[in-house]
Amino acid sequence: MYPKVTIHLLGPIVNLLLNSSAFFSARKQTMKPLNTITIVFNRFIVWTRSKPYRIFIFKWLKRLFISVAAICILFFALNWVFPVPDKIEYSTIVTDSKGEVIHAFLTKDQKWRMKTELDEISPLLRKTIVEKEDKYFYSHPGINALAIGRAFVKNIFRWKRTSGASTITMQVARALEPKKRTYFNKVIEMFRALQLEFKYSKNEILQLYLNLVPYGGNIEGVKSASILYFKKNPDHLSLAEITALSIIPNRPSTLVMGKHNDRIVLERNRWLQQFAKDKVFTQKEIQDAISEPLTATRGTVPQLIPHLAWKLKQEGGGDIIKTNIELNTQLKTEKLVADYSRILTLKNIRNAAVIIINNQTHNVITYVGSADFTDTIDAGQVNGAKAIRQPGSTLKPLLYGLCIDEGLMTPKTVITDVPVNYSGYAPENYDKQFNGYVTIEYALAHSLNIPAVKSLQMLGKDQFTQKLIDCNFKQIKKDQRKLGLSMILGGCGASLEELTGLYTTFANNGKFTPPNYTQTPASSNRDVTIISPAATFMINDILSQVNRPDFPLNWQSTEHMPKIAWKTGTSYGRRDAWSIGYNKKYTVGIWTGNFSALGIPELSGANIATPLLFKIFNTIDYDSDEEWFTQPKGCDIRMVCSETGLPPGEHCISTVTDYFIPLISSTQLCNNMQEVALSADEKISYCKSCMPANGYKKKWYKAVPPEMQRYYDERHIVYEHIPPHNPDCERVFKEGGPSVLSPRNGSEYYISKKHPEPLELSCNVGNDVHKVYWYINDQFFKAGEAHNHQFFVPEEGPVKISCTDDKGRNKDVWIRVKYVDL
């Protein structure tokens, strides 16, 4: 065993100890006859007890201490001034859920230099490399003085330099800082070796060595070599493979794997024989290794998940990015996307993106950014999963869930789907039709727009956007102040990543957990409760109903198709089609469309995106156990009036069962029917102040809100009117007067001088109003049926418009008109 340098430094101290023991043994031997050695020894002992001896020892100890201190100070000073250059650029590698490399990037200097982790250096790999390269690696301080001395002598006699004296540490130093081979550079290399030993543990130095050693061509490091030549991680290499690899760095240009395999085998077996001689491995192990054939050729580095790999690299993923991708599911999904995209191309729909998240672990197990990454014509490199697009109707389930939690509605709550106007914003339905009275359940399942806008108005836009921000919607956070009610119809920006993440909330009792793209998710990731379990259950119930208009046409459902809940979305101009589905196991998000943002008439969430969603569920969750979400504690069932969805009042005729949240959902009784006092001939109605003492009768009428009356009137739908109010009634109705829909109060209107377009006059009135009177700047303009529209061309400047109903109730609005050259 080669003694460590430090042991020599301890020499004098050891001598002192030996001396003192010799002194004691000498005393015991005084009775025996003396020979010459004993006499000399005894004299020496006497001298060691004298003062000059102590002075001598002290002087030398002092010198030794000063020298050691000076060497240390010099080393630390040099170490500080010339720190070891250990910044290494590695190839970024991306692994799947099992730790296999499924994607990698070249370094800036075009090398495959993958980082081998400490736990990938198997005992076999360590043992073989140390045995071959540097037997005393674990006992020397970076420099092997004996080997250097031997090499030095050899050099003198042969007049040529050999590198036999290089330790693994020195080889690391040389790889970090390649230099010409001169004696001076050798000294620098030794200093660097000491620095490395000072900074790193032995295993870390071995790791650096294995990461930097060249294996021919642009392959550096045992991991790159292992993956490129043997298609496996280094911890799975056999003794034969390790030995074969370990001889390449000696002659990388003449021992090329795949080209000179016979030569490599010869050299490999020579080393294996040597190992046998040194008894490093058993005879059996050596025999097995020698008989192992070498068929390796240079393969290619897998680049299987380009979009996710680029995304995570750009997000600063580090040298090794460990994803949760389940390669089998990823490849199956890619195939489905590619096959499906070929069919879509016929309709000029050229791209698609898919994300699959495991709902139990929140791991992103599949990530497809486009139909084909290598497709240059349709910009396959664009990451469709990350791109910000208009989300269509995909945010509606969240909205209704939040409204249920606020007690504003339950699934059977009735809402009106009729034209509305919010300060100029008049949303329309997808099919430009209106449905009158609808339940929330119907509105969500049919993705009606007006009920959604109304619900957002009721809930408050800020509360809604805040929930989306809690679910990591970045663009919505950025645009927070700019967003209007149209956001619920897709008038905002969101990505498939964000939307798929949001939908995992519905599969997790309303709790949002950020999806795990890597195995080490950001520490800032935390769960946020977005919706209550009860409201989540109600939404899941609605979204899993099969009888709905966004069930894809021509879809032959199979009996093996798992039960899922899903919601579709189609953006303005039919540029994006979405379909996001989930069950207890998976959430799958689909986007289809064109990266060029070209709108396609056939593009729809139902018919284009949903079939792919179904195909994917059919593949990844085929023959599922159908386990579904169970009704949570906070969710109860009650009977409600089918006409309003409220708990039935006295006069309600039909009832239905409905889910509700006790103490949250409204308990206001249905008052859909109102009792009105009429004259005996039912020609006029009375209010409390004009009702005669007798000669009247009472009748029940259904309360019809003004917007519904307008809807009925426009469609000539007959409904029961309350007879006009008693004309002799003196009570002035201040409340409940007409509301002017157009023009909008306080607005500015620009009118073309050449082609002046008239302005529309329209209003909403009470059920008992039949006629309205319009005044422009206090001048009578026109009288007409309450629900008829009137038109007029105003003069420039401020204009006052008044609307008076047949009860004398009045409403004024002011507008400003400008004539412009257009």
- The smaller minimum CB distance to Zn ion, of residues 98 and 731, is found at 731
677 counts as binding Zn ion under rule CB under 5 A:
no
Residue closer to Zn ion (CB basis): 413 or 644: 644
CA distances from 316 to 98, 319, 320, 321, 368 (A): 22, 9, 10, 9, 20
Q: Which two tokens stand for residue 268?
A: 């490999």
Q: Name the phi and psi angles at 701, rounded to 5.
A: -125, 150
Ramachandran angles phi, psi of 119, nearest 5°? -75, -5
Q: Site size for Zn ion, by CB under 5 A?
A: 11
Q: Which residue has the tokens 């200093």?
A: 191
State the Cα–Cα distance between residues 458 and 743, nearest whole angstrom.
24
- The minimum distance between CB 780 and Zn ion, in angstroms, equals 25
Task: Using the rule CB under 5 A, give the single segment among 109-117, 470-478, 486-494, 682-690 that binds Zn ion.
Answer: 682-690
Nearest in space to 278 (alpha carbons), one of 130, 121, 143, 122: 130
Q: How far is the CB of 420 from Zn ion (least distance, A)?
A: 23
- Which of residues 589 and 645 has its CB atom nearest to Zn ion in the complex? 645
Q: What is the rounded distance in angstroms from the CA atom of residue 234 to the CA atom of residue 226?
A: 6
State in angstroms the smallest separation of the CB of 804 from Zn ion: 17
Q: Which is nearer to Zn ion, 444 or 670 (CB)?
A: 670
Q: Determine how many CB atoms are found less than 10 A away from the CB of residue 629.
A: 20
| Closest distance of CB 641 from Zn ion, Å | 3
Q: Which amino acid is at 471?
A: C
- Which CB, 13 or 703, lies closer to Zn ion? 703
To the nearest whole angstrom, how small is the minimum distance from the Cβ of residue 414 to Zn ion? 9
Task: Write down the least CB distance from residue 652 to Zn ion, Å.
Answer: 3
| One residue of 590, 652, 761, 786 binding Zn ion per CB under 5 A | 652
Kindly tell me which of 393 and 644 has the beta carbon lying closer to Zn ion: 644
Tell the smallest beta-carbon distance from residue 650 to Zn ion (Å).
9
Q: Which is nearer to Zn ion, 497 or 643 (CB)?
A: 643
Torsion from C-alpha of 66, 71, 77, 80, nearest 10 degrees:
-140
Tell me how far, at minimum, the Cβ of 541 lies from Zn ion, in Å. Answer: 23
Closer CB to Zn ion, residue 101 or residue 708? 708
- Looking at residues 453 to 512 of the shown chain, list those that interact with Zn ion (rule: CB under 5 A): none
Q: What are phi and psi of 133, to 5 degrees?
A: -95, -35
Nearer to Zn ion, 91 or 644 (CB): 644
When the beta carbons of 176 and 669 are compared against Zn ion, the nearer one is 669
**201 or 674, CB closer to Zn ion?**
674
Binding status of residue 669 toward Zn ion by CB under 5 A: no
| Residues numbered 572-591 forming contacts with Zn ion, rule: CB under 5 A | none
CB 490 within 8 A of CB 391: yes
Choose the stretch contacting Zn ion; rule: CB under 5 A; options: 129-137, 180-188, 208-216, 671-679.
671-679
| 36-45: Cβ within 8 A, 24+ apart | 45/19
End-to-end C-alpha distance for the chain, whole angstroms: 99
Q: Could you give the 3-state DSSP secondary structure of residue 536?
A: helix
Query: Among residues 475 and 679, whose Cβ is nearest to Zn ion?
Result: 679
Q: How far is the CB of 406 from Zn ion (least distance, A)?
A: 22
CB of 691 to Zn ion, least distance (A): 7
Burial 561-574 (b: 16+ CB within 10 A, else e): bbebbbbbbbbeeb
Instruction: Give the torsion through C-alpha atoms of 272, 278, 281, 284, to 10 deg.
Output: 70
Minimum CB–partner distance for residue 702 and Zn ion (Å): 9
Question: Are β-strands 320-322 and 748-752 bridged in parallel, bridged antiparallel, or unpaired?
Answer: unpaired
Q: Residue 689 Cβ, how far from Zn ion at the closest point, in Å?
A: 5
Q: How far apart are CA 415 and CA 437, in angstroms?
A: 6
Distance CA 562, CA 552 (A): 16
Binding range to Zn ion, per CB under 5 A, among 417-425, 525-533, 666-674, 754-762: 666-674
> In this complex, which beta carbon is closest to Zn ion, that of residue 442 or of residue 774?
442
Closest among 306, 273, 199, 286 to 238, alpha carbons compared: 286
**In angstroms, what is the minimal distance from the CB of 532 to Zn ion?**
26
- Our CB check for Zn ion shows the closer of 269 and 726 to be 726
Q: To the nearest whole angstrom, how small is the minimum distance from the Cβ of residue 808 to Zn ion?
A: 11
3-class DSSP state for residue 546?
A: coil
Interface pick for Zn ion out of 672, 685, 742, 802 (rule CB under 5 A): 672
- Here's the x/- map for Zn ion, 701-740, by CB under 5 A: it reads as -------------------------x--x-x---------
Please state, in angstroms and rounded to a whole number, the distance separating the CA atoms of residues 392 and 574: 9
Question: Shortest gap between Cβ of 717 and Zn ion (angstroms)?
Answer: 20
Restricting to residues 32-61, name those near Zn ion by CB under 5 A: none
Residue whose CB is less far from Zn ion, 56 or 700: 700
Contact criterion met (CB below 8 Å) for 402 and 444: no
Per the CB < 8 A criterion, the answer to whether 743 and 809 are in contact is no
Region binding Zn ion by CB under 5 A among candidate stretches 88-96, 311-319, 540-548, 687-695: 687-695
Ramachandran angles phi, psi of 355, nearest 5°? -130, 135
Of 413 and 449, CB closest to Zn ion: 413
* Interface residue with Zn ion, options 148, 379, 528, 687 (CB under 5 A): 687
User: What secondary structure does DSSP assign to 451-503, as a single string?
Assistant: HHHHHHHHH-HHHHHHHHHHTT-HHHHHHTTT--GGGGGT-S-B-HHHHHHHH
Residue 640 Cβ vs Zn ion, minimum distance, rounded to whole Å: 8
Contact 580, 587 (CB under 8 A): yes
Q: Which residue shows structure tokens 């899993």?
A: 544
Angstrom distance (rounded) from CA 634 to CA 656: 20
Q: Which one of 670, 676, 704, 803 is in contact with Zn ion (CB under 5 A)?
A: 670
Residue placing its CB nearer to Zn ion in the complex, 12 or 808: 808
Least distance CB 678 / Zn ion (angstroms): 12
Closest to 504 in 3D by CA, of 534, 551, 471:
471
| Contact positions with Zn ion (CB under 5 A) in 622-651 | 641, 643-644
- Listed in sequence order, the residues at least 6 apart from 199 whose beta carbon sits closer than 8 Å to its beta carbon are 84, 86
d(CA 586, CA 803): 57
Q: Establish if 690 lies at the interface with Zn ion (CB under 5 A).
A: yes
Q: Which residues bind Zn ion (CB under 5 A)?
A: 641, 643-644, 652, 670, 672, 687, 690, 726, 729, 731
